[in-house]
Amino acid sequence: MKKLSIIIPVYNEADTIAEVIKVLNALVLINNIEKEIIVVDDCSQDTSKAVIKNTLSEIGSASIRICEHKINIGKGGAIQTGIKEADGDYTIIQDADLELIPAEINNLLQVVWDNKADIVYGSRFLNKEVKGGSWISNRANGFLTGLSNFVFKTRITDMETCYKLVPTPVFKSLNLIEQRFGFEPEITAKLAKHKQLRWAEVPITYNPRNNEQGKKIGWKDGFRAIWCIVKYGLGKG
């Protein structure tokens, strides 16, 4: 692996996006792996766009670029835009909040570098010290992951995780459709159909925020996730 593409979908994250970009820009990847950072502003209604542009101007890095949506289409749609722009050997998603620790991306990269897996998920539930999340959200995640394992015939502990390290050519080939949070079960279902790919998980640290802090996923997204698990797990696409 010579280069990693990091996609940051952004919608109304003015309070955190500058720090996320700065932390990622300063992040040194293992074994001199290069990185590119693709920030996709999904038509934010706050000052996110201005904050992003000011931060990029301040940093002045040629490895960071921004894509802008003229209408809001959702996290999945923003990721689809980002993957079209990605030209790294591998791609990973980084949320625009501070729930995850970017430095732990190196833990996922190390597994691929050691040729132990082709796809690596960062699991919030393998971390024995910090579980994070409310009782309800953890139970919901556990149910969705269990259902996806049953339907997809996978063996993972955190299907809904943000950190999914995937070979870019495979990512581009998946023909992703879901524009909101249904992206998570959709990509897992479609990756699971590539039987030749080896999977692995590594523990990651999770510092969840609440609705007042900008948490966007809700109960309706949970029902959509169930539908997506069945649709993409049992369908041919």
The pTM for the full model equals 0.91
Q: How crowded is residue 65: how many other Cβ atoms within 10 Å of its Cβ?
A: 13
Alpha-carbon dihedral of residues 210, 141, 41, 231, nearest 10 degrees?
-150
What are the pLDDT digits (tens) for 88-102? 999 999 999 989 999
Task: Return all residues near 75 (Cβ < 8 A) that are at least 6 apart.
Answer: 9, 11, 42, 179, 180, 181, 183, 216
Distance CA 70, CA 11 (A): 12
Is 49 in contact with 22 (CB distance < 8 Å)? no
Higher pLDDT, 143 or 134: 143
pLDDT tens per residue, range 77-90: 999 999 999 999 99
In CATH, what number is assigned to the domain containing residue 224?
Answer: 3.90.550.10
pLDDT number for residue 213: 41
What is the pLDDT confidence band of residue 232, given thresholds at 50, 70 and 90?
Answer: very high
Contacts with 66 (C-beta within 8 Å, 6 or more apart), sequence order: 38, 39, 40, 41, 52, 53, 56
| Number of compact structural domains in the chain | 1
Rounded alpha-carbon distances, angstroms, from residue 93 to 24, 40, 86, 146, 152: 12, 11, 11, 22, 22
Q: Which residues pair with 66 in a beta bridge?
A: 39
pLDDT digits (tens, 9 = 90+) for 181-231: 899 999 999 999 999 999 999 999 998 855 444 445 665 777 889 999 999
Edge-to-edge strand list for the sheet holding 34-41: 64-68, 34-41, 3-10, 90-93, 164-167, 119-123, 199-203
**Packing angle of the helix pair 75-85, 183-192 (nearest 10 deg):** 50
Q: Residues 152-181: pLDDT tens digits?
A: 999 999 999 999 999 999 999 999 999 988
Q: Please, what's the b/e burial string for 132-166 (b: 16 or more CB within 10 A of its CB; e: otherwise)? A: bbeeeeeebbeebbebbbebbebebbbbbbbbbbb
| Residue range(s) defining the domain that contains residue 79 | 3-234
